[in-house]
Amino acid sequence: MPAPKRQKLLIFVIAYYAEATLKKVLERIPQTVFERFDCEVLVVDDGSEDRTFAIGREYKEAHPRFA
């Protein structure tokens, strides 16, 4: 019998001038979410001029489920 398919989950993190908080927010997504679901995290930056985009990109490089 094939293993049951895991439910899909897409998490959106909306970030605007979130340099001070973005990494903390991403780190708070519990590992159990990734274990229980076929999960992807999408960080949306609305043109911040601080390091928000760079932090999101760095986190993505270290964690492949982040987009």
For residue 48, being part of any structural domain is answered with yes
Structure tokens at 45: 């930056």
Report which of residues 31 and 58 the model is more confident about: 58
pTM above 0.85, yes or no: no
For residue 45, being part of any structural domain is answered with yes
**Residue 11's pLDDT is what?**
92
For residue 23, being part of any structural domain is answered with yes
**Residue 65's pLDDT is what?**
73
For residue 26, being part of any structural domain is answered with yes
Confidence of residue 67 (pLDDT cuts 50, 70, 90): low
Structure tokens at 61: 């490089």
How many domains does one find in the chain?
A: 1
For residue 37, being part of any structural domain is answered with yes
Structural domain boundaries, residue 15 = 8-62
pLDDT tens-digit series, residues 17-54? 999 999 999 989 888 888 889 888 899 998 999 999 99
